[in-house]
Amino acid sequence: MSINPLRHLLSTCFVVCALVCSAAAATNATEATAASRTLPPMLLLTNASRAAIAAWCATQPASNINAALQALTPPQRRQLVSCALDITVTPAETQRVTEAALLVTDSPDLGFYLELYATTQIRMHDAPSGAYAAGDHISLSSGMLGQKDITVLRNTITHELFHIFNHQQHAAGGISALNEGTAIWIFKCAYSDLPRAEYDLGLAEPTFGTINFYRDLGIKGYPKHIDMGIPTKDITAKGREVYETILMARDPSRLPVFDAQAMQTIYTNYFAGLKRDQAFDQWLREFRCAHVRMLRERDAVPPQKQGAPPA
Ligand SMILES: [Zn+2]
pLDDT: which is higher, 29 or 72: 72
Question: What value does the mean pLDDT take over residues 135-156?
Answer: 94
Q: What is the Å distance from ligand 1's center to 69 Cα?
A: 26
8 Å CB contact between 135 and 166: no
- Specify the pTM: 0.87
pLDDT in the model for residue 198? 86
Q: What is the Å distance from ligand 1's center to 277 Cα?
A: 19
Does residue 271 sit within a domain?
yes
Does residue 65 sit within a domain?
yes
Residue 109 has pLDDT above 50, yes or no: yes
Residue type at position 239: G
Q: What is the Å distance from ligand 1's center to 152 Cα?
A: 14
At residue 2 the predicted structure's pLDDT band, cuts being 50, 70 and 90, is: very low
Does residue 214 sit within a domain?
yes
Q: How many helices (H) and strands (E) does the chain have?
A: 14, 4
Does residue 255 sit within a domain?
yes
Which residues have C-beta within 8 Å of that of residue 305, sequence separation ≥ 6? none
Q: What is the Å distance from ligand 1's center to 52 Cα?
A: 29
Q: What is the Å distance from ligand 1's center to 96 Cα?
A: 21
Q: What is the Å distance from ligand 1's center to 17 Cα?
A: 4
Q: Measure Cα distances from 92 to 89, 96, 121 in Å.
A: 8, 8, 17
Number of domains in the chain: 1
Q: What is the Å distance from ligand 1's center to 76 Cα?
A: 31
Q: What is the Å distance from ligand 1's center to 37 Cα?
A: 31
Q: What is the Å distance from ligand 1's center to 130 Cα?
A: 10
> Whole domain around residue 215: which residue ranges?
5-305
> What pLDDT digit, counting tens, does each position of 66-77 carry?
999 999 999 999
Does residue 310 sit within a domain?
no
Does residue 311 sit within a domain?
no
Q: What is the Å distance from ligand 1's center to 204 Cα?
A: 15
Q: What is the Å distance from ligand 1's center to 144 Cα?
A: 14
Which residues have C-beta within 8 Å of that of residue 131, sequence separation ≥ 6? 12, 13, 16, 138, 139, 140, 141, 144, 156, 159, 160
> What pLDDT digit, counting tens, does each position of 243-298 carry?
999 999 999 999 999 999 999 999 999 999 999 999 999 999 999 999 999 999 99
Q: What is the Å distance from ligand 1's center to 159 Cα?
A: 6
Percent of the chain with pLDDT over 90: 76
Residue 31 has pLDDT above 50, yes or no: no
8 Å CB contact between 242 and 293: no
Does residue 301 sit within a domain?
yes
Does residue 138 sit within a domain?
yes
pLDDT in the model for residue 45? 85
Q: What is the Å distance from ligand 1's center to 207 Cα?
A: 11
Residue 167 has pLDDT above 80, yes or no: yes
Report d(CA 58, CA 181) in Å as an integer.
25
Report d(CA 100, CA 87) in Å as an integer.
12
